[in-house]
Homo-oligomer: A and B are copies of this chain.
């Protein structure tokens, strides 16, 4: 037997009991007559005591234990003379009577505590040591619990978890596929799913009624800091539902997991149309933990002989509360330069400072009198003494995006985000199609299976090009603290409408049939109205814990080159493997 108890469960109730514990040596302290060892496992830390007077040999042995040695001890639970109130086991200690070294350990290459000295690369290489750190371990435990709570909630509602296949078919539409050569079908390839989209729709046609799956998905994209080639979705689909049914069901799921895992009761989620979100926040995933909404002053600023604004399509302002007296001209210059970086691309930044002493200062003071600016103060900006107004101008869509960046930056600088605050939002009424000027074609805003709103169906089937741009979809995103954590839509379930959508998206009949013929076929055999949603599971884990990186919630993440540095993958494979798969390397010299 390796243990009678774990390292986190012994309390005053156990005094006098003989126990056996196993775990890792966190730290040892040699105080001459007594040697203390903190023994750690997933459940906690228990203090061991070795007494030089009673057991000199054992104590000598204990003194030689290194960090991360794996040991088993037997001993008696004793009340500590100096208790540690910060540790659940802090009232007791174990007077050790026997000690086995189960495995030795080299000195770890970084400190195995919450605050570590290990950099990213080395922590990933020795991920097995990194995961021993309690914060990383707790992230994985949280992830596991989030999955349990999600499954329990959805199962109780009658959802059935169905495993869809991992080896599917490549569809060039959308992101790049990972592909898998088929040995048994030379020259042919499977693809790994970017999502189980078509399969879950097929399951609805199959009458499964309510489907879900916590499922791995794959995208062969260039990796940004917070993107992984394999990621996990909570994937759901329901039959005989309207958008309203889906929003209610998954608002319920979100409330449930917050209550169960964070003890937080979320209020009903507000809803905002895509258009409103863009107008008020310049983003389809606005962070509502703070206000600072956009004020469209395009018309108000015209007619003051300031040609730049007179000629501009769009001028927009935000009010930075209490910032007027904090920001020197030098600060504003720096902020302007920050906004002018190529990543943001603003041309300039206009400011109006309503100082605490009721003075007004503005970078465009020569065009707008103090009187005008003071009129705007309450009338337009709803500002107070001490507030600073920041203004951007230019082409509307671009300027909205820039102002979104500025709004988030200012919220951060002004400390407007309260830790532990959660502000969910449904964004609804997305456009169905997005016109891409460059490629001169439509893209699906959500995906090619999304249904237009009922009232737009006829216009879609019969309308002209301009009509198509105005079509609205039954599509929705769940946004939490400015992160998109879920998105979905009501799907098309009619073959003709689906074909029309493929047409609009530039598929030839042959391409549509080749790639999605099975789905079009399925729609001819009694496809029910249906819709669904998918949550980014990694993202949800991170956002619920107020963290920005999903990598901290993935046991074995890959780096930005798609490598697992621990196992050193990807790697070369044998010539025989290539031959069996009927492929050859074709690496271009750079």
Contact = CB atoms under 8 A, between A and B. Distances in A.
Interface of A: 1-3, 6, 22, 24, 40-43, 68-70, 72, 102-106, 108, 126-132, 137, 140-141, 143-144, 147-148, 151, 155, 160-170, 172, 176-192, 198-199, 202-203, 205-209, 216, 218, 220, 222-223, 229-230, 232, 240-242, 493-494, 517-518, 522-529, 554-556, 558, 561-564, 566-574, 577-588
A131 B525 CA distance: 13
Given A72-B240, A131-B208, A583-B585, 8 more contacts: A6-B209, A103-B526, A108-B525, A127-B202, A128-B205, A181-B583, A185-B561, A584-B585
B206 A131 contact: yes
Contact of A526 (B6, B105, B586): B105
Contacts of A177: 577
A415 to B, nearest CB: 36
Contacts of A176: 183, 577, 580
B583 A583 contact: yes
Oligomer copy total: 2
A180 B178 contact: yes
A568 B518 contact: yes
Contacts of A129: 206, 525
B187 A566 contact: no
Contacts of A41: 207, 209
A412 B6 CA distance: 50
Given A188-B572, A202-B127, A207-B24, A179 B581 contact: yes
Between A144, A187, A570, the greatest number of chain B beta carbons within 10 A of the residue's beta carbon is seen for: A570
Contacts of A218: 166-167
A351 to B, nearest CB: 43
A331 to B, nearest CB: 41
A160 B184 contact: no
Given A184-B561, A518-B566, A163 B128 contact: no
A72 B1 CA distance: 63
B164 A209 contact: no
B216 A186 contact: no
Contacts of A220: 183
A5 to B, nearest CB: 11
Contact of A132 (B206, B517, B584): B206
Contact of A585 (B187, B192, B566): B187
A326 to B, nearest CB: 44
A527 B185 contact: no
A386 to B, nearest CB: 49
A68 B527 CA distance: 9
A392 to B, nearest CB: 36
20 contacts: A2-B242, A3-B240, A24-B528, A70-B527, A70-B528, A105-B526, A108-B525, A127-B206, A131-B203, A131-B208, A137-B206, A140-B160, A141-B160, A163-B555, A165-B555, A169-B564, A169-B567, A176-B183, A183-B220, A184-B223
